[in-house]
Amino acid sequence: MEKKLSLWQRIMADTPAFFKKAQVLGAGLVTLAVSLSKIGIVPPAISAIATAIGATIATVSQFAVKQTEPNTIDSDKAEPTIQQTVTQ
């Protein structure tokens, strides 16, 4: 069973490499959208949509948690493997 983490534990936990890249992408998209809206190149509606998408990507990526414990099966309940059967 997976360990349930609190919000603070999720925020402070180690993030997988893919999601770290997604955070940078989201933050970059927000920065680009805000910068372009300030100089008037992009319409405000498109800038607002790009900002919302970038902020969502960055926020959701932060909550991904790197799995540190492999999924293990209880050895008492596990079926014997071929190697274990041959050695017995």
- Per-residue pLDDT tens digits for 32-81: 999 999 988 889 999 999 999 999 999 999 888 887 765 555 555 555 55
Confidence label for 1 from pLDDT (cuts 50, 70 and 90): very low
Residue among 49, 7, 64, 52 nearest 26 (CA): 52
Q: What is the domain count for the chain?
A: 1
Q: Does residue 47 fall inside a structural domain?
A: yes
Q: Does residue 1 fall inside a structural domain?
A: no
Supply the range of the domain harboring residue 56.
7-68
What does the chain come to in residues? 88
Q: Does residue 32 fall inside a structural domain?
A: yes
Q: Does residue 20 fall inside a structural domain?
A: yes
Q: Does residue 85 fall inside a structural domain?
A: no
Q: Does residue 28 fall inside a structural domain?
A: yes
